[in-house]
């Protein structure tokens, strides 16, 4: 399934539904995409039962913030903030169970603090805003961020010294899968209504997670989708001096090839309700025309599934940001699909 970058840049993205005429044919193709993706990610170890410990508890006016540490693969531990709405929100539910969100942070040294505390940056506090809307929110630190910095923020060399056959993307996904396990185990959470949201690094982690975990009922990706096609720096995904996502990709890129296109990885989550946002002035992912082409083809897949109302792509002339008006649209989308509030 390898593609020549030159062909992508000249001829456009590979169409998801090319020669696909039935749901069965799509499932065969989807399985092929998934096998390639997992092969590049490296190991996804079998998970153990969820467990966590509470480090500190902070009771705030509208929610309780638990600073926790939960178990992940290979005896590793993930530091996170668990935000639980106040009793008024819980009592409003007949069974005292609320929808929950995996809130995945962007590339910030502070990690979870950036999205789940008042000290987070402007336009990044989506974890905090969602708990105030009545969601239980889990905001974990990814490897190399927040309390999980070993040498320097977003330096993965130490990880690869210990895990040469794995990838940073695979590791992040396993940590997030354990996070979903944790949410499903909580008495305050309705395990049938779990979503994911993220910006930038968190944005692609969001759709990566949804593609591998059918428990995700809806997700939001802000400035996290980018195609290889038209990308001026496609080696961002391979071996680098700082955060190396999938080192093996550098071998392919050096040959002018890629093993997949990223709308194919997004397609693994279809027809899960999906909200994507991109900005035409995004300096990190500047190839917005190619991104839009990928989104258009992904929308056709949702149409194929009869789920076009479950897909939304928003493009503005904005920068690499998650502005308030777009966040409002994203929250309404999540409300519609997870909170059963028809305001979208």
pLDDT tens figures, 167-207:
999 999 999 999 999 999 999 999 999 999 999 999 999 99
What integer best gives the mean pLDDT of the chain? 96
| For range 199-224, the mean pLDDT | 98
Residue 331 has pLDDT above 50, yes or no: yes
The Cβ of residue 61 has, within 10 Å, a number of other Cβ atoms equal to 6
Q: What percentage of the chain has pLDDT greater than the value 90? A: 92
What average pLDDT does the segment 215-225 reach? 98
Q: Is the pLDDT of residue 5 over 50?
A: yes
Q: Name the burial class of residue 241, with classes exposed (0-12), middle (13-18) and buried (19+) by CB atoms within 10 angstroms of its CB.
A: exposed
Contacts of 101 (CB under 8 A, 6+ apart): 127, 130, 135, 136, 137, 138, 194, 195, 196, 197, 334, 338
pLDDT at site 96: 86
Sorting pLDDT into bands at 50, 70 and 90, what band is 341? low
> How many Cβ atoms from other residues are within 10 Å of residue 89's Cβ?
20
Tell the residue number behind the tokens 């008495």, with chain if given: 187
Q: Is the pLDDT of residue 278 over 90?
A: yes
Using only C-alpha atoms, what is the Rg of the chain?
Answer: 19
Packing angle, helices 201-212 and 168-185, rounded to 10 = 70
Summarised one tens digit per residue, pLDDT across range 16-65 is 999 999 999 999 999 999 999 999 999 788 999 999 999 999 999 999 99
Task: Name the pLDDT band for 143 (thresholds 50, 70, 90).
Answer: very high
What percent of the chain has pLDDT above 70? Answer: 99
pLDDT of the residue at 272: 97
């Amino acid at each position: 399934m390898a593609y020549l970058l030159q062909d992508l840049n000249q001829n456009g993205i590979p169409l998801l539904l090319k020669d696909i005429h039935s749901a069965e044919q799509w499932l065969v193709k989807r399985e092929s995409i998934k096998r390639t993706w997992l092969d590049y990610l490296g190991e996804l170890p079998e998970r153990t039962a969820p467990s966590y410990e509470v480090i500190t508890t902070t009771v705030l006016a509208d929610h309780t913030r638990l600073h926790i540490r939960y178990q992940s693969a290979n005896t590793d531990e993930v530091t996170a903030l668990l935000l639980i709405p106040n009793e008024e929100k819980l009592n409003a539910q007949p069974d005292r169970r609320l929808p929950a969100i995996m809130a995945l942070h962007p590339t910030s040294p502070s990690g979870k603090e950036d999205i789940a505390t008042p000290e987070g940056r402007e336009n990044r506090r989506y974890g905090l805003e969602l708990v105030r809307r009545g969601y239980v929110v889990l905001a974990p630190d990814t490897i190399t961020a927040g309390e999980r910095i070993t040498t320097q923020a977003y330096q993965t060399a130490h990880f690869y010294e210990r895990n040469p056959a794995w990838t940073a993307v695979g590791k992040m996904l396993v940590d997030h899968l354990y996070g979903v396990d944790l949410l499903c185990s909580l008495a305050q959470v309705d395990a049938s209504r779990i979503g994911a949201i993220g910006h930038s690094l968190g944005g692609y982690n969001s759709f990566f997670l949804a593609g591998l975990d059918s428990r995700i009922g809806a997700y939001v990706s802000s400035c996290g989708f980018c195609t290889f096609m038209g990308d001026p720096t496609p080696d961002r995904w391979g071996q680098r001096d700082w955060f190396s996502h999938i080192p093996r990709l550098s071998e392919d890129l050096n040959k002018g090839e890629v093993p997949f296109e990223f709308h194919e990885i997004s397609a693994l989550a279809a027809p899960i309700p999906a909200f994507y946002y991109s900005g035409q002035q995004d300096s990190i992912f500047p190839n917005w025309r190619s991104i839009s082409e990928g989104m258009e083809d992904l929308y056709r897949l949702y149409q194929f599934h009869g789920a076009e109302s479950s897909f939304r792509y928003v493009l503005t002339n904005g920068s690499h940001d998650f502005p308030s008006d777009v966040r409002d649209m994203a929250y309404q989308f999540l409300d519609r699909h997870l909170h059963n509030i028809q305001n979208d």
